[in-house]
């Protein structure tokens, strides 16, 4: 059957990694957009969170969809990593321009695991706060804790490193690779991870530094 053939082939696995990776990046964009309200005021962020939770079915379906995409990304990522290791290196079946020994490419499974740990702690934390505390106050409560914020910033560094290779690899898989555009592509693979690091890191630093004391 073709789906089995597809997911058993190297190219099939790479396409699943690239598509799921793209969907996860799109999630990060929507998450950053929603979290931008934190910089406006706690009221603005709470209004956004209330609007979101007034659509429980949409939130549930979105969360389940995200979980499935994440599981695909992790499952096929581990599979490709083990397959490449067994083949004796960082060999990809369809890539001819792989930066074989970059720090980011070599650490993909480890940065991936750290991001997974972050997501588990992050989602568990926001779903298990004190019942009488609104989510906007929960953000302040958690991120005002120095070590909690430090763990967040460390995880965002891992996310940026993971994205710097993952985003580039995704573009290669989609065939976005042309001498005329490669300069721009190289810049994008720095700008996209840097954006998420600076944006999410700024939220953590805002509370960690005490600047968000009146939030």
Token couple for 203:
């939220």
For ligand HEM, which is the closer residue by CB, 12 or 122? 122
Name 187's Cβ contacts closer than 8 Å, sequence gap at least 6. none
- CB nearer to ligand HEM: pick between 44 and 98: 44
| Residue 75 CB, nearest approach to ligand HEM (Å) | 17
Tell me, residue by residue from 59 to 78, as one string, x for binding to ligand HEM by CB under 6 A and - for no binding. Answer: ---xx--x------------
Our CB check for ligand HEM shows the closer of 63 and 184 to be 63
Find where tokens 């120095």 sit: 146
For residue 10, the surrounding DSSP H or E stretch is: helix 10-35
Instruction: For residue 145, give both structure tokens.
Output: 């804790």
Provide the minimum distance between the beta carbon of 62 and ligand HEM in the complex, in angstroms, as a whole number: 5
158 near ligand HEM, rule: CB under 6 A: no
Contact call for residue 205 and ligand HEM (CB under 6 A): no
Distance CA 48, CA 9 (A): 43
Q: Residue 166 burial (CB < 10 Å; 0-12/13-18/19+)? A: buried
Site for ligand HEM contains 110 (CB under 6 A): no
Measured CA distances, 53 to 46, 50, 56, 110, 135 (Å): 10, 5, 5, 34, 11
To ligand HEM, the closest distance from the beta carbon of 60 in angstroms equals: 9
Q: Which is nearer to ligand HEM, 15 or 49 (CB)?
A: 49
* Identity of the residue, 93 or 198, whose beta carbon is nearer to ligand HEM in the bound complex: 198
- Nearest 10 degrees: Cα torsion 196, 202, 208, 214: -130
Q: From the list 15, 16, 49, 114, which residue makes contact with ligand HEM (rule: CB under 6 A)?
A: 49
DSSP, res 95? -
Count of chain residues binding ligand HEM (CB under 6 A): 19
Q: Round to whole Å and give the CA distance between 88 and 23.
A: 30
Question: Min. distance of Cβ 191 from ligand HEM in angstroms?
Answer: 17
Q: For ligand HEM, which is the closer residue by CB, 139 or 170? A: 139
Q: Could you tell me how far CA 123 lies from the centroid of its own chain?
A: 13
Which spans of this chain sit near ligand HEM (rule: CB under 6 A)? Answer: 31, 35, 49, 52, 62-63, 66, 115, 119, 122-123, 126, 135, 139, 152, 159, 200, 203-204
């Amino acid at each position: 059957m073709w789906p089995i053939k597809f997911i058993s082939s190297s190219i099939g696995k790479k396409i699943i990694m690239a598509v799921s990776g793209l969907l996860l990046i799109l999630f990060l964009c929507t998450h950053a957009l929603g979290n931008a309200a934190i910089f406006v005021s706690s009221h603005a962020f709470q209004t956004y969170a209330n609007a979101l939770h007034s659509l429980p079915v949409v939130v549930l379906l979105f969360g389940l969809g995200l979980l499935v995409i994440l599981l695909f990304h992790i499952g096929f990522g581990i599979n490709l990593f083990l397959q490449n290791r067994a083949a004796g290196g960082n060999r990809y079946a369809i890539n001819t321009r792989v930066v074989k020994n970059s720090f980011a490419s070599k650490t993909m499974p480890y940065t991936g695991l750290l991001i997974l740990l972050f997501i588990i702690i992050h989602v568990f934390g926001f779903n298990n706060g004190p019942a009488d505390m609104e989510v906007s106050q929960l953000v302040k409560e958690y991120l005002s804790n120095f070590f909690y914020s430090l763990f967040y910033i460390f995880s965002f560094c891992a996310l940026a490193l993971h994205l710097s290779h993952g985003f580039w690899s995704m573009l290669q898989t989609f065939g976005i690779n042309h001498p005329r555009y490669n300069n721009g592509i190289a810049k994008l693979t720095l700008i996209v991870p840097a954006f998420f690091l600076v944006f999410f890191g700024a939220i953590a630093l805002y509370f960690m530094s005490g600047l968000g004391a009146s939030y």
